[in-house]
A and B are shown apart, each in its own frame.
Chain A
């Protein structure tokens, strides 16, 4: 399978005001990734790990400090600067808050047709309308909803409208930024199933961002785990869930709620909290060292590079004894 999107060494820098002076920090730090046609890359991490910023960087919505991006093996970004027009009709995005991402003053018909006026201006009004109706049917909306406004819909249906907007131009890649996090359980399952169905029918590639490892277990082919702006582990789904290598991945899996009282009660949790370090404080070594149960002196001295240790499997950790022997049975205490 050829790579659809390849990104190397992406960094995004933000400047914030802290204690009255300006401080710069990298929200995304040197991330590499690639997505092949038809596959789902899951990206998971806690709040503030840079996963949404990475999504926006891939869409060309935030300026890059460093990095290069190729789209279908043609250069799109070099040295952090765009060198070709962004393939917007081929790359679309779905957002977390479905209602906030829709203009409340536009009808469903206008909302879904809006991308066409930019990317398919050659279509006649009738052709546009036919395409809008076909897309609505595909995402499970009815034609009689065409003239309604977003506030008349539930969260799940608004998310369907958002998906229709993203699909109407016939994209090859959808970047989904927590598209089901705000939805109720029964509706979440509907949208997850819809996205998987659309992917099968249309051969879409998905970059699916989530804070919920369980959702990715259902959807993703490969999963990338982010911590404080860096990619700390990338693996095929089965490997990641059955043999997580990075101590942070192990911790995330150990803490994820399981809807089974017997399993949920068998785990031990430390009450003492170690807080997520501020991204503004630059420390040498591994960003995860303060929360890591296995940290050794070298972890506070040198930054572990993301290295590929087996086929399709990369991990950024110094401790081979930890990464190579872990199984899902012996996670450390959480966290």
Chain B
């Protein structure tokens, strides 16, 4: 039966087989290998992984923000154009205006020498060609929108005069100035206290709802994923281990790494005692062994896991995973 796709189920960003390789003195290092996803309008995709899993490198690659010695392969399609092949001038037009990014540490992302007003109006003058007065009014409205109290006075302050949570709100306001279709948030609440984190996540959700903006949320915190994401990609050593809807992922993770991660998180609402820990350490990306990158730490790895990289395959329930062990044979999941 044919029926029209609802508007909010439209894909705004299509990433296919994204690979990032750095040429280092120790030889080429594959930081990201084969990242593939569709980002839907109005939805939040979480990319979760530990340090070195390639989650930040992937989004920097999508926006063309990696240094010249990085080799980027695959495609990143936004409105029918592959961003990886786009000339700098056109890419600069997309970046900041149609796709915006917020970073973990607002203090290093904002310019300490310029007032908030100056930094915000600059964005509007550049992308929208606004005159000074108009840009200032729009900036003020943006600060109001992220619930900064007393914005009319504070717009003329410098970044260091704001608290950590307020600085993050300033950065969000700046990112949203041009009404982007895609917002990429790289660990936006990692540096914040839990009370402020809860506010910032709630703020991002409400702003997203207003504009049906799509969001990529990079985090190492499964609590943040549970609260804010619709779909989740779990990365390990530059590869996708599992991709699933958020309820499915937490209900019945289908990859041993995801199971391990969920067991390792201390929980407020569960019995105390020893945590389930994943033995060993993440691989040295300069010397990745053949086979599944997680195999050396996986309790269920067989001979095949040590020699053959498992393909990333769709599952009957719509999720996808890269694992040689059949889902039915995975060690029982006891959350």
Q: Enumerate chain A residues within 8 angstroms of B263, measured Cβ to Cβ.
A: 189
Docked-complex contact A185 and B267, CB < 8 angstroms = no
Q: Are B275 and A193 in contact (CB under 8 A)?
A: yes
* Residue in B198, B206, B272, B278 whose beta carbon sits within 8 Å of that of A255 in the complex: B198
Task: Choose one: B199, B222, B247, B275; the contact of A273 (CB below 8 Å).
Answer: B199
Q: Mark B258-299, 1 if CB is under 8 A from A, else 0.
A: 001111111111001111111101100000000000000100
Q: Is the interface of A mostly helix, strand, loop or mixed?
A: helix
Which residues A240-264 have CB closer than 8 A to chain B?
241, 251-264
Q: Mark A191-220, 1 if CB is under 8 A from B, else 0.
A: 011001000000000000001111101110
Say yes or no: B198 contacts A269, CB within 8 Å. Answer: yes
Q: Is the pair B250, A256 in contact by a Cβ cutoff of 8 Å? A: no
Contact A185 B264 (CB under 8 A): yes
CB pair B225 A259 closer than 8 Å: yes
- Which listed residue, A154, A193, A261, A270, touches B247 by the CB 8 Å rule? A261
Chain A nearest CB, measured from B94 CB (Å) = 29
Q: Is B195 an interface position by the 8 A CB rule?
A: yes
Q: Are A334 and B193 in contact (CB under 8 A)?
A: no
Interface presence of B15 (CB below 8 A): no
Q: Is the CB of B267 within 8 A of A258?
A: yes
- Chain A residues contacting B193 (CB-CB under 8 Å) are 46-47, 211
Provide the residues of chain A in CB contact with B307, threshold 8 Å.
none
Query: Is A218 within 8 A of B266, CB to CB?
Result: yes
A22-B278 Cα distance, complex, nearest whole Å: 50
Residues of A within 8 A of B194 (CB): 46, 211-213, 252, 255-257
By a CB distance below 8 angstroms, the chain B residues around A259 are 222-223, 225-226, 250, 262, 265, 267
Please judge, given known A-B contacts A269-B198, A335-B199, whether A186 and B226 are in contact too, CB under 8 Å. no
Most buried by B among A193, A196, A252, A269: A269
Is A196 in contact with B196, judged by CB distance below 8 angstroms?
no
The reply to whether B226 and A264 form a contact with Cβ atoms under 8 Å apart is: yes
Name B223's contact: one of A47, A192, A257 (CB within 8 Å).
Answer: A257
A44 CB → nearest B CB, Å: 10
Q: Which residue of A lies closest to B148 (CB)?
A: A273
- Contact present for A273 and B149 (CB under 8 Å): yes
A29 on interface, CB distance cutoff 8 Å: no
Determine if A193 and B274 form an interchain contact, defined as CB atoms under 8 angstroms apart.
Answer: yes
Contacts of B195 in A (CB 8 A): 46, 251-252, 255, 334-335
Q: B163 touching A271 by the CB < 8 A rule?
A: no
Complex: chain B residue closest to A253, CB-CB = B268
A260–B226 CB distance below 8 A: yes
Contacts of A275 in B (CB 8 A): 163, 165-166
Contact residues in A for B169 (Cβ distance below 8 Å): 273
Considering the complex, give the chain A residue whose CB is closest to the CB of B246.
A261
Q: How many residues of A contact B (CB 8 A)?
A: 50
Known: A186-B260, A257-B221. A214 touches B267 (CB 8 A): yes
B169, B274, B275 — which one has the most chain A CB atoms within 10 A of its CB?
Answer: B275
B281–A157 touching, CB < 8 Å: yes
A261 near B274: Cβ-Cβ < 8 Å: no
Q: Contact: A187 with B281, CB < 8 Å? A: yes
Residue of B nearest to A187 (CB): B281
The answer to whether A122 has its CB under 8 Å from any CB of chain B is no
- Please report the C-alpha to C-alpha distance between residue A185 and residue B234 in the assembled complex, in whole angstroms: 13
B281 and A154 form a contact (CB under 8 A)? yes
Determine how close the nearest CB of chain B comes to the CB of A98; give it in whole angstroms: 13
Nearest chain A CB to B210 CB, angstrom units? 12
Question: At the interface, yes or no: B122 with Cβ under 8 Å from chain A?
Answer: no
Residue of B nearest to A215 (CB): B266
Least Cβ–Cβ distance between A97 and chain B, in angstroms: 14
Q: Give Cα distance in the complex from A334 to B195, angstroms.
A: 7
Known: A157-B281, A211-B193, A273-B147. A218 touches B273 (CB 8 A): yes
A208-238 vs B, Cβ < 8 Å mask (1 yes, 0 no): 0001111101110000000000000000010
9 closest Cβ contacts across the A-B interface? A257-B223, A189-B277, A189-B264, A184-B50, A264-B227, A269-B202, A189-B275, A186-B278, A46-B193
Task: Return 29 A-B CB contacts under 8 Å, by A number.
Answer: A46-B194, A47-B164, A154-B282, A156-B281, A157-B281, A187-B281, A189-B278, A190-B278, A192-B277, A213-B268, A214-B267, A217-B268, A218-B266, A241-B268, A254-B198, A257-B198, A257-B224, A258-B226, A258-B268, A258-B269, A259-B222, A259-B225, A260-B269, A261-B247, A264-B223, A271-B202, A272-B147, A273-B196, A276-B163
Q: B interface vs A, CB < 8 Å?
A: 50-51, 147, 149, 163-166, 169, 193-199, 201-203, 206, 220-227, 246-247, 250, 260-269, 272-279, 281-282, 297
B-binding residues in A (CB < 8 A)? 46-47, 154-157, 184-190, 192-193, 196, 211-215, 217-219, 237, 241, 251-265, 269-273, 275-276, 334-335
